[in-house]
Amino acid sequence: MDRWTRVRSFFPVTQQMAYLNHAGVAPISTRVEEALTRYLREATRSGARHYTRVYDAEIERVRQRAALLLGARVEEIAFVKNTTEGLGLVASGLDWQPGDQVVVCDLEYPSNVYPWWNLRNRGIETIMLRTRDGQLPLDLVDETLRQPRVRLLSVSSVEFGSGARNDLKALGRICRERGVLFCVDAIQSLGCFPLDVESCSIDFLAADGHKWLLSVEGCGLFYCARRALDLLTPRVVGWRSVTDNRNFDDYHLELQPGAGRFEEGTPNTAGIFGLGAAIDLLLEVGIEEIGWRVLALTDRLVRGLEQRGARVLSPRADGLASGIVSFIWTGEAPRETARRLLDQEVFVVARRGGVRASPHFYNSEDEIDRLLASL
Ligand SMILES: Cc1ncc(COP(=O)(O)O)c(C=O)c1O
């Protein structure tokens, strides 16, 4: 049995359908199911009796695994309920001055637009860059960031509709040179492609677990670089935000020294159990390997689509290709194509004017061929 067939056996969803919607909500592996069952068994049999030994220990273990995945220090990681919460910590936490500007682009998911628009009444302007051919040109970013009032650039690692992968290293370099903070919505690539926060000069990053990380909804990661920690004022604080936070008797509003200060209360412990097992599996398989595998599967899909006369909307040049392939089947509305494919147990969706297919590493070449044949 080759390694991809072995890892495929962890995903029972493969017995039901060709699941090609990891850019939407992913199915979970039996590894994650087992971790959740472990949590449920503990909660059912013992409640909080072994909180420190079982729950706290797992929460801190998963924090370490998350740090490893991102190339971060463990004290730079906080658990959040979703990507939006992470981006909101940045939007609400920075010390904005009227006239400050935030730069985003018109390919972004609404979670990376509304938090910035919401600052409008405080005099903060959002510059929405107009993109070309589904991708964000670096020279446009470079030029825009020369404006003196730009405080922050916020982009996705991979754009949710077009699937264009942004060159985070180059964007990080531009931000550093211009003294602009760099915020990344990593939900469309984390778990699929390597990401190193340090070498990309990322200040803030957020990603929920339910897409390429292959975990459950409602539990994600927020990274805040140590150098940027004191730039963010947590707008919600509670018992867990502070040092010595099991001392409930002597009030002391001394924030935790690390990103843990953004975890204001009881965490989503079940979600963290799931996320831990999901990250473990990804690290075991190897993120580099996963990235190559996903590119091989999407290349196969793109070749097949082009041979059949479909129009591929996703940029596929080296460095731009991702796990997302958006296409149009000639003469048919994307929603109709997606519906037809779903009728044949091939799960894709319609997004931003195209049919969006997003295979992960455990999908097979046969499933890609099934999509093509089902068209
Ligand atoms: C780029 C991007 N950001 C964020 C989200 C979702 O955000 P959240 O985790 O807050 O639900 C999505 C979901 O499709 C997305 O594609």
- Whether this prediction's pTM lies above 0.85 is answered by yes
Find out whether the beta carbon of 83 lies less than 6 Å from any atom of ligand 1. yes
Pairing of the two strands 346-347 and 325-328: unpaired
Sorted by where each begins, the domain ranges of the chain are 3-20+286-374, 37-283
Amino acid at 352: R
Question: What CATH number labels 37-283?
Answer: 3.40.640.10
Atom of ligand 1 nearest to the CA of 84: 10
Query: 202: CA distance to ligand 1 center in Å?
Result: 19
Dihedrals φ, ψ of 190, to 5°? -65, 125
The Cα–Cα gap between 346 and 273 comes to 30
pLDDT at residue 218, rounded to an integer: 98
Residues 323/163, Cβ–Cβ less than 8 Å: yes
Dihedrals φ, ψ of 56, to 5°? -60, -40
Q: Is the dihedral of CA 88, 93, 94, 99 positive or negative?
A: positive
Contacts of 12 (CB under 8 A, 6+ apart): 30
pLDDT tens for each residue of 316-347: 999 999 999 999 998 899 999 999 999 999 99
CATH top-level class of 3-20+286-374: alpha beta
Residues of the chain scoring pLDDT < 50:
none
Atom of ligand 1 nearest to the CA of 85: 10
Atom of ligand 1 nearest to the CA of 220: 9
* H or E element at residue 170: helix 168-178
The Cα–Cα gap between 260 and 186 comes to 20
pLDDT tens for each residue of 305-324: 999 999 999 999 999 999 99
pLDDT at residue 181, rounded to an integer: 98
| DSSP code string of 216-256 | -TT-EEEEE-GGGGGG---SS--GGGBSSTT--SS----B-
Residue nearest to atom 6 of ligand 1 (CA): 83
pLDDT at residue 2, rounded to an integer: 83
Find out whether the beta carbon of 159 lies less than 6 Å from any atom of ligand 1. no
Closest to 66 in 3D by CA, of 308, 236, 248, 274: 274
CB burial of 31-68 (b: ≥16 within 10 Å; e: otherwise) equals bbeebbeebeebeeeeeeeeeeebbeebbeebbebbbe
Q: Is the dihedral of CA 149, 153, 159, 164 positive or negative?
A: positive
Give, for ligand 1, the residue of 160, 217, 221 to mutate: max count of ligand atoms closer than 8 Å to Cβ.
160
pLDDT at residue 3, rounded to an integer: 86
Query: 24: CA distance to ligand 1 center in Å?
Result: 8
206: left (phi over 0), alpha (psi -120 to 50) or beta: beta
pLDDT at residue 281, rounded to an integer: 98
